[in-house]
Structure 1
Amino acid sequence: MRQRPFRIRTRGNLPSELSGFVGRGGELARLGRLLDSARLVTVTGVGGVGKSRLALAAARAAAGGTPDGSGEGSGWGSQERYFDGVWLAELSSVRDPALLEFTLAEALGLTDHTTRPPRTVLAEHLAGRRLLLVVDGFEQLVEETAELLAELLRRSPGLRVLAAGRRTLGVEGEQVFPLAPLEPAGALELLVGRAAAADPAFAVTEANRPLLIELCARLDGIPLALELAAGRLRALSPAQVLARLEDRFALLTGGARGAAPRHRALRTAIGWSHELCAPAERLLWARLSVFAGQFDLDAAEYVCAGPDLPVDSVLDVVGELLAQSLLVREETPAGVRYRMLETVRLYGAGWLESQGDATRLRRRHRDWYMGLATWCELDWFSPRQQEVAALVEAELPNLRLALECCLDEPEELHLGQYLAGTLWFYWAGCGRLTEGRHWLDRTLEPVPGDGQDEYEGSRLKALWVLGYVAALQGDAVASMSALHECRDGAQRTGNRVAAAYAVHRMGCLALVSDDMARAGELLGSALDLYREAGELNSNVLMCQVELAMAMAFRGELAGAATLCEEVREICEDRGELWTKAYALYVLAYAALDAGDTASARRLLTECVTVNHAFRDLVGLVLAVELLALVTVSEGRPSEAAVLQGAAEPMWGGVGLRLFGSGYFNAPRLMCQERAGEALGPERYAAHAAEGRQLSVDALVLRARWVPGREGGPRTGKPAAPRRGRRVDTSL
């Protein structure tokens, strides 16, 4: 059976509009009509002209809401055309072509643990779907983006793409929508609106109106330039702004000879804003350009501070850059974060290069994110586990940049190995096996003349993490190869901790390969090694849970339950949730064997909730499979068939179904047999088909429903799938 990815079903991921969308009503209507007739539309124009905002406004309207994202209008788009949603892929921070496919998969909410290429996963996910994909900021990877989108469009007739960039993609069938600067009336409306938002006391008067109109004309109606000017109107009058612009105009044109005037105008606007900044502001602007995407204040202070920019001054300077619209403040699940508009960031990066300080700043950036990963690994075994998951998710673009920095110099390869290995909890615990495998493979590639014996510990860590990830993907050969190399290296160097991890993951591989005797022997040995080394964390507890699994599968249920009760107690004491969920799975297995279906359901309900929160498909699908058996044991074969059907597409995203294990497969076969006998083949197949229609959110809601509670699973009694609804599979 073809493996398929699994995706949490939502209608899209478009961000909310935080400020009014002004001055582009005509362009918005024309773009909407063009998008109705073409499958690939690219909005082009100079940086700062408003391509991204127009594309997002068009996407919101296509999704059935108003261009400002309020959702209060019907919009001019067809919801039926985009039945599977409208999705935004931000590519501006992606530099490595190898990460392009990962980024698109991430934007679509995909999680795939298999060894399939991400391009295959994307193509299979999009086949048969009707959705609009918005691609923004592709200029640095235009050829790779064009080739990928052309293939996806060719293989997915229901896909439409709205791209925004400084140049066209050059793909057959592409319709280009050149975006000009704002007309005078629209430019004035934008300037005045932004100025009033920055300073409520600002008002248009008979005296300043002509000056504001002149300022709009001098800035050629470019939205970014106007927003920068509006930020300056907090401190300067329109006359002062014009005077300063006049003083700097000739110096700061800076455009290439023969370039379009508006290109020079944008450079003038940014350069003028740069000149108006105080020295500390210009310095921080340049240094912040090393970040990809969002960053927080702590990161900015560590990376950017120095003798010429004291750490206690960074907050004030950040505030000034925010006031001048050179930084954007954003509220995220990981807290308050900042982001620099890409055009502004690139200008700062140019100054950083000209100062000869780019290499040093990139290394400081790398060092910060290595430290962040280290602390997150420690905090994973704490009550902050969910916060850690959200933080690493938010910092992923910067962590990728740090990994790339490590790979740039062969003598720093050990740092990449350390960083890729340290993120094991994210790769394995938060649904990122495929990307983790990508980085681990890259950092472990042989380097000619590589002599890194003094850094062997970093390589050993990367090896056992690779073995772990490959085992979860069902790639036994790669897993065993990495783990044997890790064990041999650990024995050679006397690294007891690495040896324990290697033996542990060999036991894990034996467990999913149905060699329970070997699994019990290896996992027991690993626990002894962990104790000798004084190691206690989520991995150690997971080793104990896996030993309990091996015992349970061999019928030693009392001993397995004792081990998992101990793990649960430690997890609750430490605030650990991820490993606890696996312990609950084993305890539910034992409770069901004892005939206590109520306890088994309660344990599995908690297990499902935790695994869903962490996007851990391995744990989630195992719990759903066992919950189906609990359900048929409660005398509800129809619901059991629905749950079994829901689990089927999830295994496609994990990898080899039930790891190819007869032991892990036993609950499924037993449930299928009992539910099939009760329902008959046709009714069983119909209910399983209903389950295959469920999104992961609907499945989790259904799994958490308790028999006897008013209503039925989900939001009432089990309902037939909506007509026209398809199986929601993806990562």
Structure 2
Amino acid sequence: MTLTLPQQDSPATAPLGSLIRRHRLRIGLTQRELADLSTISVRAIRDLEKGKAQRPRTETVRLIADALRLGPRSRTELEAAARGGSRAGDAVRRLSVERAAPPVPLYPQVGREAETGVVVEELGSGAERLVTVVGLSGVGKTRLALEAAARLHDAGLPVLWHSGDGAAADCLGAGEDPLPRLADACARFLGGGGEAGNLLPELADVVEAIGGQGTVLVLDGVDTGSLDFGRLSRLLREFPGLRLLITGERPWNVPGERLFLLSPLEAPAPTAGSTDAAAVRFFLSQLRRVRPDIVPDEQALADVAWICHRLDGHPAALEAAASWLAVCDLSTLRDIVESDPAPLFDHLAGDPHGSRLQERVGRTLAALSDPYRTLVGDLCRAAGGEFLLQDVVRLTGRTLPECGRLIRELLINGVIRSSADSGRSGFRVLCVVRAAADATAAV
């Protein structure tokens, strides 16, 4: 794999720190090892790689070149970079920051203000370097990542974006520039493919070109079970400013991971004050796309609030249900949701993502181990929509700590969500999960 940044082909324009780091990583040396071999201090090596020292002495360049075992061409390039200073590097830096942008979402984000703010603050400040957003398929993980990445980029942080096989195609890609391809290479490296000797020097070029500031790598819709923690550790160690934002259906469960559980949109029980809930606003945005002629009155808003609550505020379920307004009115849609909402989970237009919602939820249930799958079935059959921790204790006969862990695992998988309909801290199984469980039981 060979990826190059624009204007970095000639020796006269290559940043000195980038060259030193590229050659050091190519032969697998740490800064300490390079310092020992060259008899130059670790601090001097570090300052050179960060660009703090732009004009080293000729003898210093010679010692580094000897330690790196450079051939004539690479040695000449290093010497030229040491004489050239940082003017060319500034041009590359500006170009790199402009190009290192996330994809553009197709639609505005509705709700998620608090969740987005937390992710942006944690990654932007560097308080967290590995944030994994998990949740049930269709809950909006990609959309949250797009919004967070856009805000981080607006704040001056370059963003490298990789879309995995499990990512939803609800954005415009970044094209064929080198930086997006570098993000894909990072994903392959973390997945066990590719060699560090090829990737790390290229990533070092990007870090050098953007001035050594923080960089965000987004891995959207990846299988965390296929990622290599040892390789992640090496990336984080070599590039202190690198931060990762991962979306997937399961956490990575590695040291330093900040697990972010993404629940469906807020959809409280229908009351006089629930028409401004995030799920209602999301459904109305979908309604305007399908039926812009409908101006919801008080009764219509009440129907929307009830539908949103019945479908648990799950964005993909709400989008699919709203598509049916092309062939029915709100009151009819409410009647269908009340009697059997399962057919509505297939998008009326045959949208490939909406039409596979039940299939994807079914795969999530099938992947659960027996105790969790059994508990979901028992909860679906139990009377009443909301349940408490104590109800799980009575239902399973297990200890309180065991039941707490059961509930936590179901929350992580996204098959239940928190609920306060009764005024207490309870939970309920999502409607899309109940439909998938019924379909499985009927087979």
- Please, what TM-score do these two structures have when normalized by structure 2? 0.48
Q: Of the two, which has the highest radius of gyration?
A: 1
**Structure in which a larger fraction of residues adopt helix:** 1
